[in-house]
Copies of this chain bind each other. A is one copy, B any other.
Amino acid sequence: MSFADQTQFTPLVVCELAEDTKEEAVEWLLSRIKEKQRNGGAEFQVSRLLPALSQDDKKENPNIFLVGASWQRLLIGAEDLGLIKEFSDGSMRTFTYANREDFKDFQGDGDGFLSMAECQLIIKHELDTLRAKQETYVPGYPKIKLYPGKSIVRRMHSKGILLQIFPLHDKEELKRLSSTWYQQIRMAFQPLDDIRRYFGESLALYFGFLEYFTLAMLPMAIIGIPYYFFDWENYDNYVVFAICNLIWTTVMLEMWKRFGACLAYSWGTLSRKKAFEEPRPGFHGVLGHNPVTGREEPVYPNAKRHLRIYLVSLPFVLLCLYVSLCVMMVYFDAEGWVLGLHDVEPTFWTGLLLFLPSIVYAVVIEIMNRLYRYAAEFLTDWENHRLESTYQNHLTLKVLVFNFLNCFASLFYIAFVMQDMPLLRQSLATLLITSQILNQFLEAFLPFWLQKRRNKRVQRNESQTALGSKLPFEKQVMLEADMSTYLGTFDDYLELFLLFGYVSLFSCVYPIAALLVVLNNVTEIYSDALKICQVFKRPFSEPAANIGVWQLAFESMSIIAVVTNCALIGMSPQVKSYFPESESQLILLVVAVEHVFLVLKFILAFVIPDIPKHIQIKLARVEFESMEALKKKKMLEAPATPIKGQ
């Protein structure tokens, strides 16, 4: 790499400060980063990016720093982080510096033992936990208060001095990954292990889930094709399909847990103990003492938070849901009115008018979704959660409920109030097809095209000075700093969740839905891969043992699917014809079947172990060995003391 000439270390992470940061603050921060660990520093290597080149282009920020570390420092950091790596006997164990030689793939001084993503995560973690000692404010900024134990980086970030910290791409590695991942269209699984090495467990699990979901959908897609093409399905025959649907969703979700556990085990995150979570940057309160750590930190009473959640957020969310339902009713009224108008006087203009309500409704829904998203973020922020994880959970819940209603309320209305199956099928098709075309365009190809244009502009500028196809390292860093930030897997999961909803809730009236979703997912894999590799800044790797709250969301959806599918079965003319006289008997039967299915689901979830047996055994073995080791250690120490000593 060309950068090797300029400094003595491999740069891993970029740290960008505001252009007008006072020099004393910069120096103080750098000194704290470089300082020895025993003095409370991070003991990293830092250098300023291109102080020379800044003359060339006045507009560039001079306060960009590259951070790296020695292998020894990184290995110690890996132990602090509690990374789990493969041991020489094939089991996964928590890495300790003292036993480093016993880990698989550890050679020489440990160069190459940790992946670049792991190194970057270590650096981020250590920077985040760089704490103020006796400083009461950030040098040069007397208004930015500090207290002992406060994370320096977080405070500077929330006050806008520190603009961003991001990990650098490894261009060669990225090229290799891209070529096996998405640049050729071929029949193969995704290189999940390589993705995990480069982007970390959280993203790899997303892509793993996306792939699993696509494959799991295949049987349904195949069953659905004859239903669609051979006209088996005249709204009568869908009972069999609905039953398949129910069994499939349950089994699929249970099996994913096992498959995900296998992945997480092989990546060492399954048994990783969560470190003590720090308060999130936005958390504020009266300075007090944390009841757990005893450290000084802001404290905010739980009761107050609960009041905010139950007296403000909850009513607001319910109100939004109500408004959304009202908008839907207005849409159906408008639709009916327009239809009536066209029936009375069918002209070209009324024909065009027919499309108007749908278009307006789609636009309004999109606007409501955006507005609600802002409101949800604001409210969740205002609820002042102490931990990032609870913040995320509350935000996810809020957004999920609203999106669910917006997407499915009209379908529920058509299915169960209007009981108009042809319309349901038409709406489902429209929603599925437009949403997936729009999404992929807005999500991947548009940003990719914009990024491409920007890159070209930079390259053009560059070609005036140097005539190489490869960008010099400095320019590359600037380019990456300008890319947008990937905001996490939330929107990607949300999209999958809604697609899952379309298929599991209603596909019995539109069996081709599964096929459409499979096709969508295949392109989704490519567009998401492109997006994450080319459009966004490299994200920090995030250790994850499972897909978290999304497992719960998908399972809830599959429970709702039992209810809707049973109801759709009960409404089918075929089933109705068996009970020509007594409607209430039919309803009772449907309810009984529904309850049986729900009970079966719970029994299945209970009987199928979440972690496959062979991994359970491996986990138990490691635990047993550590217990035995502890006992042996005691045997060597204790008996001498007690019985003789006393």
Using CB atoms and an 8 Å cutoff, list the residues of chain A in contact with chain B.
Answer: 37-38, 70, 72-73, 75-76, 79-80, 97-98, 109, 275-276, 291-294, 302, 563, 583-584, 587-588, 591, 595, 613, 617, 620-621, 624, 627, 631, 634-635, 637-639, 641-643, 646
Contacts and interface: CB of A to CB of B under 8 A. Distances in A.
Contacts of A294: 621
A643 B77 CA distance: 13
A563 B591 CA distance: 11
Contacts of A38: 635, 639
Given A37-B639, A98-B638, A292-B621, 8 more contacts: A38-B635, A75-B642, A79-B638, A80-B631, A291-B621, A293-B624, A583-B584, A584-B587
B627 A276 contact: yes
Contacts of A595: 563
**Most chain B beta-carbon neighbours within 10 Å: one of A75, A109, A293:** A293
Number of copies: 2
Nearest to A275: B627
Contacts of A643: 70, 72-73
Nearest to A80: B631
A214 to B, nearest CB: 30
Nearest to A586: B584
A97 B645 CA distance: 12
A646 B109 contact: yes
A109 B634 CA distance: 20
A624 B80 contact: no
A97 B591 contact: no
A624 B292 contact: yes
A37 B80 CA distance: 37
A73 B642 CA distance: 8
Nearest to A621: B292
A276 B622 CA distance: 12
Given A293-B624, A584-B587, A97 B617 contact: no
Contacts of A635: 38
A641 B291 contact: no
Nearest to A616: B292
9 contacts: A38-B639, A72-B642, A72-B643, A72-B646, A97-B638, A109-B646, A292-B621, A293-B624, A583-B583
B587 A620 contact: no
A312 to B, nearest CB: 17
Contact of A624 (B276, B302, B642): B276
Contacts of A620: 276, 292
A639 B40 CA distance: 13
B563 A639 contact: no
Contact of A587 (B302, B591, B634): B591
A398 to B, nearest CB: 15
A291 B614 CA distance: 9
Contacts of A591: 587, 591
Nearest to A590: B591
A634 B96 CA distance: 10
Contacts of A584: 583-584, 587
Contacts of A72: 642-643, 646
A97 B583 CA distance: 73
Most buried by B among A292, A613, A624, A627: A292
A641 B79 CA distance: 14
A116 to B, nearest CB: 21
Contacts of A75: 642
B613 A302 contact: yes
Given A563-B595, A584-B584, A617-B291, A76 B109 contact: no
A613 B302 CA distance: 10
